[in-house]
Chain A
Amino acid sequence: MLTDFKISFFLAVRMLRRSSKTGTLLTIFIIAMVFTNMIFLSSVIGGSIELMNEQTVDFYISNIIIKPKEDIRFIDNTSSLVSKVNRIPGVSHASARYELGASLNHKSNEIALPVIAFNPDDEKLVTKIHEMMKEGQFLTREDRGQVIIGNYVAGNVDESKDFFESLGGVKTGDSITVSFVNGVSKDYRIKGIFQTKSYQTDYKVFISWNEMEEVLGYPLDQSNELLVKTEAGTTEKEVKRTMLSYGIQEQVKTWKEQAGGLFDESIESFQIINNITLIVSLIIAIIVLFIIIMIKTLHNKREIGVLKAIGIDEDIIIQSYVIQTLIIGILGITIGFCIIQTLIAYFLAYPIEFPDGNVSLYVETGIMIESAVLLIIASIIAGYLPASRIAKEEILTAMRG
């Protein structure tokens, strides 16, 4: 058995080293390209999913969200809850949000949207919306009569460019009228417009907590939700467990639990596309390798006949071709891996610009290993089939070439 493998390896290495170098290099290059193709699309998809996750954490939910108890509209005693949550190990900071239904008017444009109040100092420690100001400035605690709006709310003068109903291309400094559901109607100066490229966030309107108290006409100690930023080095699940162990009675959800439903379908669709690409790439790899090895074995048909004639077992001959394709496959995968790493570095520096954000390549180690293993299996199949076909021919037929 060991002798057979030794002879197979001996023949495979010499055949690879001394047969057509162009052919061998071309085959390795093809495998490298197939491997790159298998990983590239999945890494773009991975990058998009990663972007969605990042946007969700940075702009939409933060790491953990606390919602009112089942069937209750508000979280009462919000200020004490925020203080309590801020003291829980693993929590970096919490920010409360309060929503009030309203309609926004600018000239002839009117849209209905809830206006969300937060404490800008808290918010800055929990989300990164303040870093994404397209124009103007973020809110401060003291701001009254000022509002910041998302890019989609601001919209465009040319309505055909809008994804949603908008205020028709308002700018920083413009005045809009906000009519709240409690009957209060007020003019607000747009202090800034943010653009996170996350459509859930960019279709929002924010005012300061103090401003909301003025609208409501009483000190506000209620909220609809608390966004919680966790400390680096912790996991959301751990911090959620700790929060529950500290007696938080409200609903506590990690961002994955909260956004799961939101992205599940997209991720599932991405995975279907990815799997189809993967299968197509594998079929291409098998066919290409099969053709190359078939041509190689047909070219070496006489040699295979000679080897059999002088007493080399056909299993050893088949094994030697499988080893050749295995070596070619491994070299191709290694080069493909280097190409992928180069692409990752490139797209990290120059991300692909999508409407929802800038996407870099994101490669999961598992997918990389899975693709490499599948390609190696494809190499073995592609080496085995043609070699066994030729090696099983009658000696004299093979020797005639």
Chain B
Amino acid sequence: MAVISVKDLYRVYKLGKVDVHALNGVTLDITEGEFVGIMGPSGSGKSTLLYQMSLLDRPTSGLVTIQGKNVGGLTDHQRTRFRLNHCGYVFQDYALVPELTTEENVYLLPMAQGKPDTESIDTAREILGKVGLSNRLSHLPRELSGGEQQRVAIARAMVNKPDIIFADEPCANLDSVNSKRILELFKELNQENGQTIVMISHEDEDIEYFDRVIRIFDGKNRER
């Protein structure tokens, strides 16, 4: 069953008087529990596609359906709520809140869902333990290495047990050892929890971790 369905998706940006066609009619389905890689050269539209699917941006035209629901019709508040309850995000530059400690960055989300503080903290600590950061709970992001920060971001993406995790080149700023560790972590979480993971990558060696690769060229998709 398709957890994400994209049909005739177009995204046109205005750059001054010039229209930039970032997506030119992408159509694809992602099945529940899949670990999908989106690959393609720089400027091909990978990130734009991910942003449309993950409700971080609105397409110029086309349809995005998540779990059978047309998310195009949602208001900004509904989209925010949807992201909180159904999606997890991992960004290339970690995107942690600098004033929050490791555990605060993670338990912020269950707290925002209205879960009790103790439950939120316990869940955050449990997940941070899984990603090997039990000894870094009260550290601020600036006190962590790049690899550690990315693991905090993964823990944050996992903490609400989202249906889908969107990862935008999560290993781009990491060395090969940390990249491998992060990819193994994603694979492990995908296999253990059956969560759908959509990840952008431009490294061919990452392909072995993906169930399927969607290649994007000039704003159009080509699957392998």
Name A's B-contacting residues (CB within 8 A).
3, 6-7, 10-11, 14-15, 17-19, 302-303, 306-314, 316, 394-396, 399
Is B128's beta carbon under 8 Å from chain A?
no
Contact residue among B57, B76, B87, B97 (Cβ-Cβ distance under 8 Å from A307): B97
Q: What are the residues of chain B within 8 A of A3 when measuring CB–CB?
A: 111-112, 114
With contacts A14-B104, A19-B99, A316-B112 taken as known, whether A308 is within 8 angstroms of B57 at the C-beta atoms is no
Contact residue among B85, B111, B156 (Cβ-Cβ distance under 8 Å from A7): B111
Q: Are B89 and A309 closer than 8 Å at their CB atoms?
A: yes
With contacts A7-B111, A19-B99, A306-B95 taken as known, whether A395 is within 8 angstroms of B84 at the C-beta atoms is no
Q: Are A312 and B84 closer than 8 Å at their CB atoms?
A: yes
Q: What are the residues of chain A within 8 A of B76 when measuring CB–CB?
A: 314
Q: Are A312 and B51 closer than 8 Å at their CB atoms?
A: no
Is B100's beta carbon under 8 Å from chain A?
yes
Nearest CB in chain A: distance from B24 CB, A: 19
Q: Are B99 and A311 closer than 8 Å at their CB atoms?
A: no
With contacts A311-B80, A311-B87 taken as known, whether A18 is within 8 angstroms of B112 at the C-beta atoms is no
Q: Would you call the interface of chain A mostly helix, strand, loop, or mixed?
A: helix
With contacts A18-B140, A396-B51 taken as known, whether A311 is within 8 angstroms of B109 at the C-beta atoms is yes
Interface string of B102-139 (1 = CB under 8 A from A): 00100011011010000000000000000000000000
Is B83's beta carbon under 8 Å from chain A?
yes
Contact residue among A10, A308, A396, A399 (Cβ-Cβ distance under 8 Å from B80): A308
Nearest CB in chain B: distance from A10 CB, A: 7
Tally chain B residues at the interface, Cβ within 8 Å: 27
Q: What are the residues of chain A within 8 A of B20 when measuring CB–CB?
A: none
Q: What are the residues of chain A within 8 A of B111 when measuring CB–CB?
A: 3, 6-7, 10
Is B77's beta carbon under 8 Å from chain A?
yes
Give the number of A-B contacts (CB < 8 Å). Answer: 69
Residue of B nearest to A303 (CB): B97
Task: Name 12 interchain pairs, CB-CB below 8 A, sorted by A.
Answer: A3-B111, A18-B100, A18-B140, A306-B91, A310-B84, A310-B95, A311-B83, A311-B109, A312-B112, A313-B80, A396-B51, A396-B57
Docked complex: B78-100 residues within 8 A CB-CB of A: 80-81, 83-85, 87, 89, 91, 95-100
Q: Are A313 and B57 closer than 8 Å at their CB atoms?
A: no
Is B74's beta carbon under 8 Å from chain A?
no
Is B56's beta carbon under 8 Å from chain A?
yes
Q: Are B97 and A7 closer than 8 Å at their CB atoms?
A: no
Residue of A nearest to B99 (CB): A18
Nearest CB in chain A: distance from B11 CB, A: 11
Residue of A nearest to B94 (CB): A306
Interface string of B15-45 (1 = CB under 8 A from A): 0000000000000000000000000000000
Contact residue among B81, B95, B100, B140 (Cβ-Cβ distance under 8 Å from A311): B81
Q: Are B108 and A394 closer than 8 Å at their CB atoms?
A: no
Q: What are the residues of chain B within 8 A of A309 when measuring CB–CB?
A: 56, 83, 89, 91, 95
With contacts A310-B89, A316-B112 taken as known, whether A303 is within 8 angstroms of B98 at the C-beta atoms is yes
Q: Are B81 and A313 closer than 8 Å at their CB atoms?
A: yes
Docked complex: B39-68 residues within 8 A CB-CB of A: 51, 56-57
Q: What are the residues of chain B within 8 A of A18 when measuring CB–CB?
A: 98-100, 140
Q: A308-B80, A312-B112 are in contact. List 10 more A-B contacts (CB 8 A).
A: A3-B111, A3-B114, A7-B112, A14-B100, A17-B99, A18-B99, A306-B91, A309-B56, A311-B83, A396-B51
Q: What are the residues of chain B within 8 A of A19 when measuring CB–CB?
A: 99
Q: Are B108 and A395 closer than 8 Å at their CB atoms?
A: no
Most chain B C-beta atoms within 10 Å of own C-beta, residue among A303, A306, A316: A306
Most chain A C-beta atoms within 10 Å of own C-beta, residue among B76, B83, B109, B112: B112
Q: What are the residues of chain B within 8 A of A306 when measuring CB–CB?
A: 91, 95-97
Q: What are the residues of chain A within 8 A of B84 when measuring CB–CB?
A: 310-312
Nearest CB in chain A: distance from B49 CB, A: 13
Q: Are A310 and B99 closer than 8 Å at their CB atoms?
A: no
Q: What are the residues of chain A within 8 A of B56 when measuring CB–CB?
A: 309, 395-396
**CA gap between A302 and B97 in the complex, in Å:** 9
Smallest CB-CB A-B distances: 7 pairs = A311-B84, A18-B99, A311-B83, A306-B95, A3-B114, A15-B99, A14-B99
**CA gap between A395 and B77 in the complex, in Å:** 13
Q: What are the residues of chain B within 8 A of A302 when measuring CB–CB?
A: 95
Q: What are the residues of chain B within 8 A of A395 when measuring CB–CB?
A: 56-57
Q: What are the residues of chain A within 8 A of B112 when measuring CB–CB?
A: 3, 7, 311-312, 316
With contacts A19-B99, A307-B97 taken as known, whether A312 is within 8 angstroms of B140 at the C-beta atoms is no
Q: What are the residues of chain A within 8 A of B100 when measuring CB–CB?
A: 14, 18
Interface string of B194-210 (1 = CB under 8 A from A): 00000000000000000
Q: What are the residues of chain B within 8 A of A17 when measuring CB–CB?
A: 99
**CA gap between A303 and B91 in the complex, in Å:** 13
Q: What are the residues of chain A within 8 A of B89 when measuring CB–CB?
A: 309-310
Q: What are the residues of chain A within 8 A of B83 when measuring CB–CB?
A: 309-311
Contact residue among B95, B99, B104, B156 (Cβ-Cβ distance under 8 Å from A399): B95
Residue of A nearest to B77 (CB): A313
Q: What are the residues of chain A within 8 A of B57 when measuring CB–CB?
A: 394-396
**CA gap between A271 and B77 in the complex, in Å:** 48
Residue of B nearest to A19 (CB): B99
**CA gap between A307 and B84 in the complex, in Å:** 10
Most chain B C-beta atoms within 10 Å of own C-beta, residue among A17, A302, A309, A399: A309
Q: Are B85 and A311 closer than 8 Å at their CB atoms?
A: yes
With contacts A18-B99, A303-B97, A395-B56 taken as known, whether A310 is within 8 angstroms of B109 at the C-beta atoms is yes
**CA gap between A19 and B140 in the complex, in Å:** 12
